[in-house]
Structure 1
Amino acid sequence: MNNIIDLFDSTLRDGSQGEGISFSVEDKVKIVLALDTLGVKYIEAGNPGSNPKDLEFFQRTRDLKLKHAKLVSFGSTRRKNIAASEDANLASLIASKTEITSIFGKSWDFHVTDIIKTSLGENLQMIEDSVRFVCDSGSEVFYDAEHFFDGYLANPSYAMETLKAALRGGATTLVLCDTRGGTLSETVGSITREVGELLPNIPLGIHTHDDIGCAVASSIAAVQAGAVQVQGTLLGFGERCGNACLFSVAGILSAKMGYDCLNGQSLEQLTGISRKVAEISNVRIPHTAPFIGVSAFAHKGGMHIDGVGKSPSSFEHIDPTSVGNERRLLMSEVAGRALMLKRIHKVAPELDKDNPLTISLMEELKKLEAEGYQFEGAESSFDLVIRRHLKLYRPFFTLVHYQTIGSSPYLDPLSDASHAAVVKVKVKGESAITAAEGEGPVNALDQALRKVLEQFYPTLKSVHLTDYKVRVLDTAGATASKVRVLIDSTDGESTWSTIGVSKDIIEASWLALSDSIEYKLIADGIVPSDDSN
């Protein structure tokens, strides 16, 4: 059995078609470099003739030195009733000078007759002519058989003829596409196997969409049926419900099935690279994302925590470090003293479970959770609670005062900012004050806080919020209710969560924001000076 599966990432093309996704040329270059570092073999870079941005990107990357990946240009077969040499799209593919070109064509007879409105024979000629024209230019061609599974179910003989037309033109790999994303995984597997039997020794690829939530499962089924290339997007975003998540595909193929799908590179980079691409793409990875999510190896129940403490395999299917993630034992009143001790040992390893400080910290945890704090999603704040309780904490700054100002309509109609904030702090015996605008009072407060502190702690320039959540804790209090604010922060490499609780949503936000800053500075190993206050 061939133990190598090639990953083909389409984040820059199919991924960019996802709602809310927009890449600059610089974003695309950064993503290419990240995917290359991960060990992805093929990166579909887009259609060089579709827009000026893609044209500039191909020009920028022409001399880019990649260690593992090969860039692939993408385009359709020629238009009907013209020669391939007269088709502008094919000309732009050749002009991109990529070593590999991906050409897609129609495999479903319905699409041929009713959508592009041509004859079945002309469609076959379009496929063969286009593939041959690009091959003759010196580029290898992967043929993407669009709507293949729907086409095969409707008219299997014609669907197979489209593949044979691509082979006659010189295509080296045939990619079977579940373009509508509605084919069941079992059907994808069985059809892939049938195609492999009808076209032996021809490399097959699989391209699935996630419209029924089966994109990853269908990709794995295709591999089990003989496919040697899996297409998708690293984070799964793309047209409609998205594409197959390559982080899941890579995790399953490598960690669970023994395939090499990252050019021999370490799977330990999977989480870090995925989070980097998410940062560039301005998307949030779901906490529960398999393999790479912050909750993928998180344990809360006392029995689960006890189990992984004795043997991690009792509740974890793989070692989280094998994919670059980490185990998290969630702090809560149901977690038990053993977990409390693990968190304490990060700060004070000399304490044991019977130490009065350990016992008092457990009581402090229960007291704070009764007030509305929930540290299972904000362990960073709890680390600060431990430091403060053990008197091992020295603040990096002291708040003198803050003020938020809002108006509607805003004074500057050309600005997105709706609020302003003024923050005055004392750092290293020196007072500093600054103001900032933001889209809402919390955003303005965040901008002002980091702006005033960056002059003392330059590493804060890389920090920004990635998520902000508010929950009303006692709805009976109406507008006087207590609220819990949970924020996620990142510096582009690490992420952390902090929490604040108050009857004032701005104060709760301030508590979470200031904890986020303090945690970052501690993590960076910065020591506050004795005159910080």
Structure 2
Amino acid sequence: MGNTISIFDTTLRDGTQGEGISLSAEDKIKIAQKLDLLGVHYIEGGNPGSNSKDIEFFQRAKGLRLNAKLTAFGSTRRKNSTAEQDSSLVRIVESGVPAATLVGKSWDFHVHTALQTTLEENLAMIYDSFAYLKQKGVEAIFDAEHFFDGYKHNPDYALAVLRKAHEAGADWIVLCDTNGGTLPSEVHAIVSRVAAEIGSPIGIHTHNDCELAVANTLAAVQAGARQVQGTINGYGERCGNANLCSIIPTLQLKMDYRCVSDEQLHSLTQTARYISEIANVHMPVAQPYVGNAAFAHKGGIHVSAILKDSKTYEHIRPELVGNKQRVLVSELAGQSNIISKAQELGLDINANNEKTKRIMERIKDLEHQGYQFEGADASLELLLRDAFGEMKEIFKLESLKMLVEKTNGHAMNAEAIVKVNVDGQPVYMAAEGNGPVNALNNALRKALEQFYPSINDFHLSDYKVRVIDEKDATAAKVRVLMETTDFKSTWSTVGVSSNVIEASWEALVDSIRYALLTKNKIEMLDEPREELGLINH
């Protein structure tokens, strides 16, 4: 393995500037611990004096004993002042962090327009700020804001800014493509010159406004950058930051750089999905390396080939990043897809098996009715296991009632009443919720938790409703896709009906059955059962 690349994660700072992302101090603590397990070298936590959440985070983070260096963020001192009198710099030092990142202007246009000061004063602001941090024993990282735009407009001044930070003792000089508009060829050429002329180690910080943040980061590394700044899942302002979930495995598996240990790289997918849950941002299904579809195969020819050798249609082994190969089954898929999926589950199946043909016809019929299994792996697995008689009947529904009430001046309230039979024992349970599906979920869980306490270890994380036949208006069939997670993995289930409550019930039942039967290893049956409630028709 070649040179080591230092990974600087700014999910907790730059990532939270993304639209729709808001993290509490507790959220930030959890994410910091997960990032530390991943093996990143720096965790930028925010500005220790900017708001109450960040103040609490830095106070609590002192007890975490991280292997990574917790890093505070700030800016160079105010114009026409001194570093010792700058409250932001003082708070950074008082926070006790081992490292700090200061952003400073490297584009003369910004110095004149944003700071409204002279080019000389900006250089003094940079020098004084970094000299102050080094005097206080803090590792100092200079984020040269808008560096590439500044270099293209006035290269002499942009380089003078970097030299001034180096003279003051900055440990890292990080070149920022703040507007995200630079091309990889430009990044490579500019970083190459900087690396040759500036004595400090070089870092790269890119944004994704042209969908080039990852490419620009890799180009910078090839040109000599040895620190990479980015966020998990590419969270960040506007179009996001450079996505570390793509950068780390590409550097390590394809470019011969060392970023994290092999074991830590195996945790990448789980880390990405865990942080997406904490941030309450749904991960794109096609996200490279860590997305649910990153190693998914649907075309019959593709599946037939990967059964012979996965290298035919996979650029790496998915296990290297903690992901897994998925074979999608749909009405368009061939028999190879069914065989592969069944073999993955340890079911005895082959191309000449009549049961395979019947299952294929069953899937085609269900998809004709509106079901879609390529996005509902858990329902598909239950369908296959049911067909092979390998599933246990966890419970049987005897009745279900829904009450929805709306009174003047009050929010609508729902109540679900379920009567189920568990191993011959009837259970009658009612629960309220802020909507019918929430009430159903609460009632069913309450009914089952006395028999299966592990039901509290997972929760619904996403719920989608799709109208299948728009022309039928309010009488149209709907497809409900439900995603459930236990923070280690996620699984998706599907239900279809002209009644949205019934469709939701089907998806909910599958979700719970899958979790209890496969995640918690409840004993499965050796003999077939006809009615297990997967899809009740």
Identify the TM-score tier after normalising by the shorter chain. Answer: over 0.9
CA distance in 1, matches of 2:440, 2:488: 23
1:277 aligns with 2:275: yes
CA distance in 2, matches of 1:133, 1:234: 31
SS for the counterpart of 1:377 is coil
CA distance in 2, matches of 1:449, 1:136: 62
Q: Deviations over 1:176-231 (max 9, x none)?
A: 011112222222222111211222x4211011111121111111111111110110
Residue equivalent to 1:127: 126
- In the TM superposition, what is the alpha-carbon distance from 1:158 to its structure 2 partner? 0.9
Structure 1 residue ranges without an equivalent (≥5): none
1:171 aligns with 2:167: no
Residue equivalent to 1:234: 232
Residue equivalent to 1:481: 476
CA distance in 2, matches of 1:508, 1:10: 41
My pick for the range that moved more, 379-388 or 433-442, is 433-442
- In the TM superposition, what is the alpha-carbon distance from 1:53 to its structure 2 partner? 1.8
SS for the counterpart of 1:235 is helix
| Contact 2:300/2:335, CA 8 A, preserved across alignment | no
Residue equivalent to 2:206: 208
CA distance in 1, matches of 2:147, 2:277: 34
Give the aligned length: 527
SS for the counterpart of 1:375 is coil
Amino acid paired to 1:39: G
CA distance in 2, matches of 1:411, 1:420: 19
1:159 aligns with 2:155: no
Amino acid paired to 1:359: K
SS for the counterpart of 1:368 is helix
Change (3 A) 1:155 1:437: farther
Q: Deviations over 1:497-533 (max 9, x none)?
A: 1111111111011101100100001111113899x99
CA distance in 2, matches of 1:126, 1:436: 61
The equivalent position to 2:511 in structure 1, one of 513, 516, 519, is: 516
> TM-score scaled by structure 2?
0.93
SS for the counterpart of 2:203 is strand
Residue equivalent to 1:11: 11
SS for the counterpart of 1:79 is coil
The equivalent position to 1:330 in structure 2, one of 328, 332, 345, is: 328
Query: Aligned-residue CA RMSD in angstroms?
Result: 2.1
Residue equivalent to 1:33: 33
| Contact 2:74/2:88, CA 8 A, preserved across alignment | yes
My pick for the range that moved more, 425-434 or 87-96, is 425-434
> TM-score scaled by structure 1?
0.94
CA distance in 1, matches of 2:63, 2:392: 51
SS for the counterpart of 1:376 is coil
CA distance in 1, matches of 2:372, 2:324: 20
| Contact 1:402/1:423, CA 8 A, preserved across alignment | yes
Change (3 A) 1:436 1:151: farther
SS for the counterpart of 1:287 is coil
- In the TM superposition, what is the alpha-carbon distance from 1:457 to its structure 2 partner? 1.3
Change (3 A) 1:154 1:411: same
Amino acid paired to 1:90: L
- In the TM superposition, what is the alpha-carbon distance from 1:322 to its structure 2 partner? 0.8
SS for the counterpart of 2:100 is strand
| Contact 1:400/1:425, CA 8 A, preserved across alignment | yes
Change (3 A) 1:264 1:91: farther
Change (3 A) 1:326 1:410: farther
- In the TM superposition, what is the alpha-carbon distance from 1:146 to its structure 2 partner? 0.8
Structure 2 residue ranges without an equivalent (≥5): none
Change (3 A) 1:340 1:228: same
Amino acid paired to 1:339: N
SS for the counterpart of 1:244 is coil
- In the TM superposition, what is the alpha-carbon distance from 1:410 to its structure 2 partner? 7.1
CA distance in 2, matches of 1:460, 1:371: 31
Residue equivalent to 1:293: 291
| Contact 1:41/1:263, CA 8 A, preserved across alignment | no
Work out the percentage of aligned pairs sharing the same amino acid: 50
Amino acid paired to 1:386: L
CA distance in 1, matches of 2:150, 2:414: 55
Change (3 A) 1:109 1:351: closer
Amino acid paired to 1:138: G
1:447 aligns with 2:445: no
Amino acid paired to 2:79: K
Residue equivalent to 2:423: 428
Amino acid paired to 1:402: L
